[in-house]
Amino acid sequence: MIELLENYLGGQWHAGAGAGTVLTDPITAEALVRVSSDGLEIASGFDFARQHGGGALREMTFGARAELLAKIVGVLQANRDAYYEIALANSGTTKADSAVDIDGAIYTVGQYAKWGAALGDAHVLADGDAVPLGKDGVFRSQHVRTPTRGLALFINAFNFPSWGLWEKAAPALLAGVPVVVKPATSTAWLTQRMVQDVVAAGILPPGALNVVCGSARGLMDALEPFDVVSFTGSAETAAVIRGHEAVTMRSVRANIEADSLNSALLMPDATPGDASFEAFVKVLVQEMTVKSGQKCTAIRRAFVPQSLHGAVAEAVAARLERVAVGNPRNEAVRMGSLVSRAQYDAVQAGIAALTRECRPLVDRRGAALVDADPDISACLAPVLLGPLDPSNAELMHRMEVFGPVCTLLPYGRLGEAVTMIRRGEGSLVASVFGADPRSLADAALSIADVHGRVHVVSPEVAGTHTGHGNVMPQSQHGGPGRAGGGQELGGLRALDFYLRRTAIQAAAPVITTLLPTG
Ligand code: NAP
């Protein structure tokens, strides 16, 4: 019988009931492990997390919790090789792609450890300065932020089993809030293994970090008013979370990261082969191929001046031709597989839908896979599409195809490109490539309100920028509108979700007492 991964809740490991769900290798279809959350005592497990995990975390200062994060970094680093093995087997990713997930997570936790250390021995954070209310100035209003006394439930997507956990858990734990993570079933193994390693290391108080693998059934029902839920996944499931009575009736705070039609814009002053053109093409190919395009931030719509449309398509085609697709166990392979055959079918259906209004500019699907059976594996080569009629194209601005697929759109005037970018109705990220600081700044601001992040690449940063799709903990992640309206990361701003803001109205000495370090 295949190993059943256990769940950690209520300070103990529990095997779920029944046969569970089998996780597979997306290249070979080999069965790997099983997961099940059936029969778990969720309500009492959540209580344990709030009381014991949360209670112990709140006793500590921000600085002490930052030390816990630093220790977690040590555990994750020590077990890094095992994580790469699991990612290869369960996600079918190349080493470079796994690094985005695994090393990206370790870096993020490390950053929060550093930022938290700077908060020192505080239990309470000041929010602004005290302002006088009474005539003599003694009676004042001081806003403070303290950890919510609930738990943080993370319901995560399949594409980042490592980073998806830690980019949320680092600010939550630093804020003093216990975590329950429910990874997407298809790639739950890596998340479960990381939690197992951190629990085994005895770094965190019991109940501070929990994992439930398998069905999400009952998790939302068990949430109470001071809990928070952070969801990453499809717009359809996001609607279920938003409409759950934990959110609608019990005011559980919800952060939603949903699908997103991210853009890249090549400015009108670019010319074939110049620095902006080259940087644009390089990033576009990266975004189509890294993790086989299964990144929430991947470029789905690329906008170029009409006169450069052919040249960009050719340059992208030339680069994509060199990308070997297949089994990452073969060192020649640059792009691994999609996460599952189901995802493969969904992406193929998405391409078919888009081709009702597009024609293929580059379609590598006919090329031979390396060491992978096209009838079994979830490997799918990249496809670049061009609209038949840009002014009447509709679906590409509405439908996210979560794979190595992008649409290259020509524009006449820059204003037309801005209008089309805005038709995405809110995205995580857009990048802008050009050379003139004034027009780059204007373009960035013209789309800032519909994006969580605008990434501007000019020649002076072409070699050093962090990448369109790479989410750095220093910058906000999340976007308005269709992207879910969520906000994560962005340094210590991320703590806001886990802290409650209260106005304390009191005499100056009381305020000085409650904020001794402020
Ligand atoms: P999904 O099918 O919506 O699943 C997301 C999570 O929700 C999984 O853990 C899933 O569990 C769980 N879930 C499913 N039904 C649920 C329900 N009724 N109640 C509570 N939880 C439920 O999404 P996905 O296919 O894993 O992820 C792909 C999508 O995520 C893409 O659209 C992508 O754009 C988006 N994404 C967004 C971001 C971002 O930061 N904005 C990041 C990554 C991915 P099971 O796996 O057990 O079904």
Contact by Cβ (8 Å): 440, 456: yes
Fill in the DSSP letter of residue 50: I
| Among 23-27, 66-70, 457-461, 512-516, the least confident range | 512-516
User: Which residue has the CA at smallest separation from atom 21 of ligand 1?
Assistant: 216
Substitution site in 22, 167, 213, 237 for ligand 1 pocket (most atoms within 8 Å of beta carbon): 237
What's the whole-number average pLDDT of the chain?
97
| pLDDT grade for 515, boundaries at 50, 70 and 90 | confident
Please write the tens of the pLDDT for every residue from 190-207.
999 999 999 999 999 999
Atom 23 of ligand 1: nearest residue by CA position: 233
Q: Are 35 and 188 in contact (CB under 8 A)?
A: yes
Ligand 1 centroid to 210 CA: how many Å?
Answer: 19
Quote the ligand 1 centre to 470 CA distance (angstroms).
20
Instruction: Judge whether residue 182 has pLDDT over 80.
Output: yes
Task: Please say whether the beta carbons of 16 and 46 come within 8 A.
Answer: no
CATH number of 262-472: 3.40.309.10
| Closest residue to atom 14 of ligand 1, CA basis | 237
Atom of ligand 1 lying closest to residue 486 CA? 41
**Token reading at 365:** 């699907």
Q: Which two tokens stand for residue 83?
A: 């994580």
Look at strands 451-457 and 253-257 and give their pairing: unpaired
CA-nearest residue for atom 22, ligand 1, is 216
- How far away, in angstroms, is 202 Cα from ligand 1 center? 30
CA dihedral 488, 493, 497, 502 (to 10 degrees): -170
CB of 214 closer than 8 Å to CB of 20: yes
Region 237-258: mean pLDDT is 97
- Give the atom of ligand 1 at the shortest distance from the alpha carbon of 483: 41
CA of 258 to the centre of ligand 1 (A): 8
DSSP 8-state symbol, 120 = T
Tell me the three state secondary structure of residue 165. helix
Report pLDDT for 76. Answer: 98
Mean pLDDT of 378-390: 97
Q: What is the pLDDT of residues 75-112, one digit of tens each?
A: 999 999 999 999 999 999 999 999 999 999 999 999 99
Q: Which residue from 42, 165, 230, 234 has its CB within 8 A of the most atoms of ligand 1, so it is best to mutate?
A: 234
Give the closest residue (by CA) to ligand 1 atom 30.
233
pLDDT reading at 284 higher than 70: yes
Do residues 489 and 115 lie in contact, with contact meaning Cβ atoms separated by under 8 Å? no
Residue 435: predicted pLDDT: 97
Q: Residue ranges of the domains in the chain? A: 4-258+486-514, 262-472
Rounded to two decimals, the pTM is 0.97
User: Which pLDDT band, with edges at 50, 70 and 90, does 517 fall under?
Assistant: low
Say if residues 453 and 465 touch (Cβ distance below 8 Å).
no
Joined tokens for residue 197: 């390693």
What is residue 147's predicted lDDT score, i.e. its pLDDT?
A: 98
Residue 518: the pLDDT is 44
The number of the ligand 1 atom at minimal distance from the alpha carbon of 240 is 18
Instruction: Give the pocket of ligand 1 (CB within 6 Å).
Output: 155-159, 182, 184-185, 215-216, 220, 232-234, 237, 240, 257-260, 296, 400, 402, 428, 483-484
**pLDDT (average), residues 486-502:** 97
Euclidean distance between CA atoms 169 and 21, whole angstroms: 25
Number of H helices, E strands in the chain: 15, 22
Is 4-258+486-514 CATH 3.40.190.10? no
Q: How far is the CA of 165 from the centre of ligand 1 (A)?
A: 13
Cα of 196 vs centre of ligand 1, distance in Å, is 22
Do 102 and 162 contact (CB within 8 A), yes or no? yes
Residue 236 CA: which ligand 1 atom is closest? Answer: 3
CA-wise closest residue to 175 among 78, 65, 280, 292: 65
Q: Name the DSSP class of 339.
A: S
Tell me: pLDDT of 291 over 90: yes
Residue nearest to atom 16 of ligand 1 (CA): 237
Query: Which sequence positions are flagged as catalytic?
Result: 257, 296
Distance in Å, CA 238 to ligand 1 centroid: 8
Mutate to test the pocket of ligand 1, among 155, 229, 405, 472 (most ligand atoms within 8 A of CB): 155
CA of 501 from ligand 1 middle (Å) equals: 30
Averaged over 39-57, what is the pLDDT? 98
Q: What is the mean pLDDT of residues 333-354?
A: 98
**What are the pLDDT digits (tens) for 136-157?**
999 999 999 999 999 999 999 9
Closest atom of ligand 1 to 182 CA is 9
Q: Which of 296, 297, 347, 497 to mutate to test the pocket of ligand 1 (most atoms within 8 A of CB)?
A: 296
| DSSP H or E segment with residue 47 | helix 42-48
pLDDT band at 134 (very low <50, low <70, confident <90, very high): confident
